[in-house]
Amino acid sequence: MSDKIRLGILGGGGDSLIGIVHRIAANMFDRYELVGGCFNPKPEENTAFAQHLGLAANRVYPSIEALVAGELALPEEERMEVVSVLTPNFLHFPMAKKLLENGFHVICEKPLTTTYAEAQELAALQKQQQKVFAVTYTYTGYPMVRQMKHMIAQGEIGAIQRVDLQYYQGWINPIIHDAAQRAATWRLQPDKSGISCCVGDIGTHAFDMLEYVTGQQVDQLLADLNFLYPDNPMDIDATILVRMQNKAKGVIRVSQIATGEENNFSVAIYGRKGALKWEQENPNYLHHLTEDQPFQTLKRGNAYIAAVAQDGVKIPSGHPEGIFDAMGNIYKGVAKAIRNEKAFDGEYPSLEDGVRGMQFIEQVVASHKAGNQWITMGTNT
Round to whole Å and give the CA distance between 238 and 236.
Answer: 7
Q: HEC profile for 69-126?
A: HHHHCCCCCCCCCEEEEECCHHHHHHHHHHHHHCCCEEEECCCCCCCHHHHHHHHHHH
User: What pLDDT, on the 0 to 100 scale, is given for residue 380?
Assistant: 73
> Using CA atoms, how far apart are residues 28 and 362, in angstroms rounded to an integer?
35
CA-nearest of 195, 260, 263 to 227 is 195
Q: What is each CA distance from 45 to 20, 122, 132, 179, 249, in whole angstroms? A: 16, 30, 30, 29, 49
R_g (Cα) of the chain, nearest Å? 21
**What gap in Å lies between CA 13 and CA 141, rounded to an integer?**
23
- How far is residue 234's CA from residue 246's CA, in Å, rounded to a whole number? 32
- Looking at residue 2, its pLDDT comes to 81
CA distance 161 to 57: 56
Write out the chain's pLDDT in tens, 381 residues.
Answer: 689 999 999 999 998 999 999 999 999 999 999 999 999 999 999 999 999 999 999 999 999 999 999 999 999 999 999 999 999 999 999 999 999 999 999 999 999 999 999 999 999 999 999 999 999 999 999 999 999 999 999 999 999 999 999 999 999 999 999 999 998 999 999 999 999 999 999 999 999 999 999 999 999 999 999 999 999 999 999 999 999 999 999 999 999 999 999 999 999 999 999 999 999 999 999 999 999 999 999 999 999 999 999 999 998 899 989 999 999 999 999 999 999 999 999 999 999 999 999 999 999 999 999 999 999 997 775
Q: What pLDDT is recorded for position 1?
A: 64
In this structure, are strands 237-244 and 282-290 parallel, antiparallel, or unpaired? unpaired
Domains of the chain: 5-138 (3.40.50.720), 143-316+350-375 (3.30.360.10)
Phi, psi values for residue 139, rounded to 5°: -65, -20
pTM: 0.95
Q: How far is CA 360 from the centre of its chain?
A: 14
